[in-house]
Amino acid sequence: MVLGGNVMTPNVTVREAARMLHVTPRTVRNWVAAGELGAIRVSERVMLIPLSEVERRLGRPSRPDLSSVIWDVDLSTLDEEHHADFIMRRVLEAGRPEQVSWLFRRYGEPRILTLLERDRSMPHKDREAWTTLLRGRHERTA
């Protein structure tokens, strides 16, 4: 299924989608042709897969590469639930936009705000900036 799509939303290549889904690129192309996976056709030979489609297929938000913010721990040993506070702290302190976006999809604003309110190990300026941003969002939506 080829979507109209916006190339500005988070997208991955066919090869990246295949790696994330633990299948071959040919399988990803077959799923697109069969309408089982949405894609955005960029040109005659190039298509992008929306990250949301990969996540839908996985049944959960797919974790981006966190090695730029978690360089001192083997990422394969990190459990997203058991090490949630550690992961949230690192991404909020130094994460790239796609990492922060995943963080909010994975853990949700209420859980992140709870961490910010009780955790004093994060630098004060970072903690205050995120707390102000999240509280402001809740006040505008309430």
Mind listing the pLDDT tens digit for each residue in 20-76?
888 999 999 999 999 999 999 999 889 999 988 988 888 877 778 899 999 999 988
Euclidean distance between CA atoms 124 and 10, whole angstroms? 30
Kindly indicate the confidence band of residue 130, based on its pLDDT and cuts at 50, 70 and 90.
very high
Dihedral of the CA atoms 74, 80, 82, 87 (nearest 10)? Answer: 70
51 and 19 within one domain? yes
Average the pLDDT over 117-142 and give the result: 84
**Would you say residue 104 lies in a domain?**
yes
pTM: 0.60
Domain carrying residue 46: 2-58
Residue 2 reports pLDDT greater than 60: no
**How many structural domains compose the chain?**
2
81 and 52 within one domain? no
**Would you say residue 64 lies in a domain?**
no
Angle at alpha carbon of residue 73, lines to 100 and 130, rounded to 5° = 25
Mind listing the pLDDT tens digit for each residue in 75-119?
889 888 999 999 999 999 999 888 998 898 889 999 999 999 998
Task: Quote the pLDDT of residue 1.
Answer: 47
Place of tokens 């190039």: 46
Higher pLDDT pick, 136 / 125: 125
48 and 22 within one domain? yes
Euclidean distance between CA atoms 96 and 8, whole angstroms? 16
3-state secondary structure string across 58-125: HCCCCCCCCCCCCCCCCHHHCCCCCCHHHHHHHHHHHCCHHHHHHHHHHHCHHHHHHHHHHCCCCCHH
79 and 49 within one domain? no
- CATH number, domain of 47, equals 1.10.10
Residue 7 reports pLDDT greater than 50: no
Half-sphere exposure of 105 (CA within 13 A, CB side): 17
